Amino acid sequence: MSRVGKLPITIPKGVNVTLADSVLTVKGPKGTLARSLPDTIDVAIDAQAVEFKRRDDSIQARATHGLVRALVHNMVKGVSEGFTKGLEIQGTGYRAEVQGNTLNLSLGYSHPVQFPLPEGIKATVERTNLVRLEGIDIEVLGQTAARIRALRPVEPYKGKGVRYVGEHVHRKVGKTGSKK
């Protein structure tokens, strides 16, 4: 039995979980998320909890048992609390600003980079170099943060670039002049 898969998910107040035709829908104060579930997993929904059980002991069922539980847990947490991810921009002249649904970035290129935010993701900029992304879907939020970070990854010599808040970048020592 999966250690993660056998744990029940407690449903907070204001969140409604429904199952129809193997599509699990979670509605909460921040929005609605839906996900198609595999046929190898059975779902039992009570008033206070959601539990997941395997139909058989096949490899596919064992592999998806804990995964499905973790995905649904993130859905419940997203519609009730939401998720945030922070990006830090370091470098001389590097900055960010939000205009509507577009994140405008100056990352040392000859042109400004305009990054359109996907639906459901909201960005705020603090101190012109700290971008805070918020959303209810953790997968879309993480993918958006990774795509913004990939626009200018941190280089190891000076530490310039876009990094996650709290990310440690191993700095390399540069060249040393030779004495002849």
Q: Which CATH number fits domain 9-80: 3.90.930.12, 1.10.3470.10, 3.40.50.11890, 3.10.310.10?
A: 3.90.930.12
Return the SS3 of 126: strand
Q: What pLDDT sits at residue 128? A: 86
Q: What pLDDT sits at residue 179? A: 66
* Residue 76 CB coordination number (10 Å): 19
Q: What pLDDT sits at residue 178? A: 65
Residue pair 165/87 in contact (Cβ under 8 Å)? The answer is yes
Q: What pLDDT sits at residue 163? A: 96
Query: Please, what is the Cα angle at 30 between 10 and 7, to 5 degrees?
Result: 20
Tokens at residue 164, please? 């996650």
Residue pair 129/88 in contact (Cβ under 8 Å)? The answer is yes
Residue pair 89/95 in contact (Cβ under 8 Å)? The answer is yes
Give tens-digit pLDDT for 16-45: 999 999 999 999 999 999 999 999 999 999
Low-confidence ranges of the chain (pLDDT < 70): 1, 177-180
Give tens-digit pLDDT for 57-70: 999 999 999 999 99
Name all contacts of 53-56 with Cβ < 8 Å and 24+ positions apart.
Answer: 54/5
Q: What pLDDT sits at residue 119? A: 94
pTM of the complete model: 0.89
What phi and psi values does residue 120 have, to the nearest 5 degrees? Answer: 95, -5
Q: Which CATH number fits domain 83-164: 3.90.1170.30, 3.90.930.12, 3.30.365.10, 1.20.1090.10?
A: 3.90.930.12
- Per DSSP, 61 falls in state H
